[in-house]
Amino acid sequence: MLTTYSLSGLTVVTPASALPGSSIQVDQKKLGRLEGKSKFDLRFGDGFVAFPALINIHDHFNGNYLPKVGPPPGEFYINWATWDRDLKNSDVIKVERARTSVEERYFLSAYKNIFSGVVTANDHFPHEFNEPLIPRLPMRAIRNYTLSHACSSFDLRWGDGFEIEHARAKKMNFPFITHLEEGFDPETQGGIETLEAAGCLDDHTVMIHCIGFSDEDIVKVARAGAHVAWCANSNIFMFNVTCKIKKMLDAGINVAIGTDSTATGSINLLEEMRYGREVYRTMYAEDLSAKTIVNMVTVNPAKAFRIQKETGTLSEGRLADILIVRQQKDDPWESLVAARPEDIELLVQDGSPIFGDARHEELFSGRGVPYTRVAIRGRQMLVKGDPVGLMERVRKAVGFRKVLDFIPLDP
């Protein structure tokens, strides 16, 4: 078993700077010094940038399927509840997706994340639903969280009620994760008041969507040190509007970018990073810097999940969660924002490769990772587990040659 190795000749991005000609040492599951070489060294040469592996703050692993389900053309929802009714009544869910198993959908979701450089994600679903599946997935879905669906009288009743779940989060030092203010009816727009009145708005609180926030809400959230998950594609698709993202960032709120499920959101996190940037440009006629966007999928979600001492940055002692992409732009951060699945050179979780160019086969076998050879837009790559066999099972289950855009394997 290959316990220690190094990746050298890279531009290594720490949150603050990019260091060309650097190397990363891996010792078992952790990052060692960011210099020097081990006996087993992979030399990359110019043109590759290393980042911390990405973190998707918001996903629903049972919900990743296509096509999207949304409002009739030209219409938008008043809140998430009307969408939920449409979703559950749609043929794609009731008939087609129902032929696949929960396990198949969880593995599809893991690969959706892996193919976009994500090693850590939250499957926002109750523990009793995902606990049996999470340990078997080929990437990391966090287990240390408490949750609510939306903290309203008509929400989906996930968990034991938001007050109990939030208290549990405080006791266990976990994040308390909930959709909030996803819509414009009076109760939904009172989300922050509801949390505040119950003493549930603090730095454990991670709120998804927040499209109904008033300026006053934003001040309260910033003061409380609570966190926001921004899912622009899902918001625009369902409501034709997203949150007041600029005001939130200017207020100093810790914001992270999430995909939501593909039933409403982007096909993967890389697409969502670009989508969010485009929406920001349209809303404010100014650019959101690539560095800010990269922080929103690395350090910021790590802080929200309270795992910033474990992952989210490339520094000694953290988990060896590494994403290496081809350098396509002069600015290293821009290279990540421009990246697509076929631009990923290597993705490493806990020191072991889970996706990457086929030339790194020795690293896969050296670390004992079971892998499959795949082609993505003509590039020969290796991936942990067997997404090819998975797609075959899904196609057999639905009875036709289903294509899912978040599984970008060549036919």
Which residues contact Fe ion (rule: CB under 5 A)? 260
Tokens of 164: 């109990």
The least distance separating Fe ion from the CB of residue 62, rounded to whole angstroms, comes to: 11
Task: Output Rg (C-alpha) for the chain, integer angstroms.
Answer: 21
Cβ at position 227, least distance to Fe ion in Å? 15
Residue number with the smallest Cβ distance to Fe ion: 260
Tokens representing residue 296 in the block: 């929103």
| For Fe ion, the closer CB: 66 or 219 | 66
Cβ closer to Fe ion: 194 or 259?
259
Minimum Å gap between C-beta 231 and Fe ion is 7
The CB-of-64 to Fe ion minimum distance in angstroms stands at 11
CB of 206 to Fe ion, least distance (A): 12
Smallest separation (angstroms) from Fe ion to the CB of 60: 6
CB of 233 to Fe ion, least distance (A): 12
Is residue 293 a contact partner of residue 276, using CB atoms and an 8 Å limit? yes
Instruction: Using the minimum distance from each CB to Fe ion, give the nearer residue, 296 or 336.
Output: 296
Alpha-carbon dihedral 387, 392, 395, 396, rounded to 10 degrees: -140
Q: Is 354 exposed, middle or buried (0-12, 13-18, 19+ CB in 10 A)?
A: buried
Tell me the one-letter amino acid at 326.
Answer: R
Tokens read off for 217: 């809400």
| Residue 69: DSSP 8-state | -
Nearer to Fe ion, 248 or 320 (CB): 248
Looking from the CA of 207 toward its CB, the CA atoms found within 13 Å total 36
Nearer to Fe ion, 181 or 260 (CB): 260
Please name the residues in contact with 411: beta carbons below 8 A apart, sequence gap of 6 or more: none
> Which is nearer to Fe ion, 25 or 116 (by Cβ)?
116
Whichever of 5 and 239 has its CB closer to Fe ion, that residue is: 239
DSSP assignment, residue 359? G
Least distance (Å) between residue 246 CB and Fe ion: 22
Query: Are 15 and 298 spatial neighbours (Cβ–Cβ below 8 Å)?
Result: yes
What six digits make up the tokens of 27?
């010792």
Burial class (CB in 10 A: 0-12, 13-18, 19+), 95: exposed
Which residues, in sequence order, are CB contacts of 90 under 8 Å at separation 6+? 69
The CA distances from residue 174 to 146, 147, 167, 205, in Å, are: 7, 10, 10, 9
Nearer of residues 155 and 260 to Fe ion, judged by Cβ:
260
